[in-house]
Amino acid sequence: MNPFLKNKTVLITGASNGLGAEIARQVAASGGNVIITARSTEKLLDLQKDIHDNFSVEATYFTLDMTDFEQVKQVSAEINASYQIDVLVNCAGFGLFENAVDIPFETIEKMFDTNVLGLIQLTQLILPQMQARKAGHIINIASQAAKIATPKSTVYSATKYAVLGFSNALRLEIMPDKIHVTTINPGPIATNFFDVADKSGNYLETVGKLVLQPEKVARKTVQIMGTKRREINLPFVMNIATRLYQVMPQVIEFFGKGAFLKK
Q: What are phi and psi of 247, to 5 degrees?
A: -105, -25
Rounded Cα distance, 218 and 91, in Å: 11
Rounded Cα distance, 209 and 18, in Å: 19
Neighbours of 53 (CB within 10 A): 7
**Residue 16: burial class (beta carbons within 10 Å; 0-12, 13-18, 19+):** buried
Where b means 16+ CB within 10 Å and e means fewer, 201-217 reads eebbeeeeebbbebeeb
Catalytic annotation, pick one of 61, 83, 156, 245: 156
Q: Is 156 known to be catalytic?
A: yes
Contacts of 227 (CB under 8 A, 6+ apart): 4, 137, 180, 182
Amino acid at 182: T
Whether the Cβ atoms of residue 155 and residue 192 lie closer than 8 Å to each other: no
Q: What are phi and psi of 76, to 5 degrees?
A: -60, -40
Question: Active-site residue numbers?
Answer: 156
